[in-house]
Amino acid sequence: MNQPLTVDQIRRAPKVLLHDHLDGGLRPATVVELARETGYTGLPTYDAQELGRWFREASDSGSLERYLETFAHTTAVMQTRDALVRVAAEAAEDLAADGVVYAEQRYAPEQHLEAGLTLEEVVEAVQEGLELGEKRAADQGRSIRTGQLVTAMRHAARSSEIAELAVRYRDAGVSGFDIAGAEAGNPPTRHLDAFEYLRRENFHFTIHAGEAFGLPSIWEALQWCGCDRLGHGVRIIDDIDTDGGAPRLGRLAQYVRDKRVPLEMCPSSNVQTGAAESIADHPIRLLRDLRFRVTVNTDNRLQSGTSLSEEFARLSEAFGYGWDDLQWFTVNAMKSAFLPFDERLALINGVIKPGFAQLKWATS
């Protein structure tokens, strides 16, 4: 077993983040400051350190529904153009400081309209913020590229409208589409019109599936909706028989592996919502061993009190993962990004592989 890599070591590695919610990545101090600026009085505490701890503890319930309740506070302070610009800029800066070279930021525009913004104004404000954050990172000697994943809420009825919004901004910062929210009782097939429109427009989309709900959610997301990636997808483990001898894949698991469907796994978040009992028990190890297209992500950095470097460090400690494993996960993520092929290849060959080669040499 390799000596576990530390967070400081991993922070120097070039990383790719596909599953990170903008409204789940705010700095606690920013939540407090925006609440005071906008007059929001619903926070459980206005001490930034205590608030950060509250978000983590409130998210450790083992229930996805309870976990999602914490977002009422973050979305409440993200209702103005200036707030959206600030949050997006800080997200890009924070990710760059963690060594992330490419990130897709997802959020639901329909949740940011309470102060009178239009859907278009929300998308434009987030894009302005991401570009500002990229520039600030560059000024500090760090390079990051970001894209938006415009998200519809699966319990609402605006998915077609949001899908059309995403396509309108495909050349102005929006890389793809997503649906999110509680899976149980809200199957992705309710939004078939949106997905059929996206396929006609040759547009990329991912679907939250197989997190709190099981194989039917994954099957519908793939076979009915035609998604490019699975948000989480952790419950695909239910279609793999591990009793006695070599693992045996069921038909759905075999299809997911054969088709190289990317799994946007979020280890710490999966433990918090009850999708996995612990990091050590997370299905990511078996799925990696079986060569599924596994990627590692943060989901919600505020609620999980995490970063991508910390997620990798936890996996390294639990499973002995070294630089080769981290590079494998990272290349998987870059291959699966919603970017043109040549741009993905340029980042893999020009940034990711050279960056890991340098780290391997320095620590050999």
Per annotation, catalytic residue among 124, 211, 220, 264: 211
Predicted TM-score (pTM) of this structure: 0.97
Q: Is the pLDDT of residue 21 over 90?
A: yes
- Stronger pLDDT, 331 or 275, i.e. the higher one: 331
CATH topology of domain 7-362: TIM Barrel (3.20.20)
What is the band of 9 on the pLDDT scale with cuts at 50, 70, 90? Answer: very high
The pLDDT of residue 357 is 98
Q: How far apart are CA 177 and CA 174, in angstroms?
A: 8
**pLDDT at residue 89 above 90?**
yes
The residue-averaged pLDDT of 218-232 equals: 97
In the residue annotation, 211 being an active-site residue is answered as yes
Rounded Cα distance between 48 and 78, Å, is: 17
Q: What is the pLDDT of residues 139-185, one digit of tens each?
A: 999 999 999 999 999 999 999 999 999 999 999 999 999 999 888 78
Question: Percentage of residues in the chain with pLDDT exceeding 90?
Answer: 90
| Averaged pLDDT, 264-280 | 93
Helix or strand holding residue 232 (H, E): strand 229-232
Give the residue-averaged pLDDT of 23-28.
98
Q: Provide the pLDDT for residue 1.
A: 56
- Listed by start position, the domains of the chain span 7-362
What mean pLDDT is predicted for residues 69-92?
96
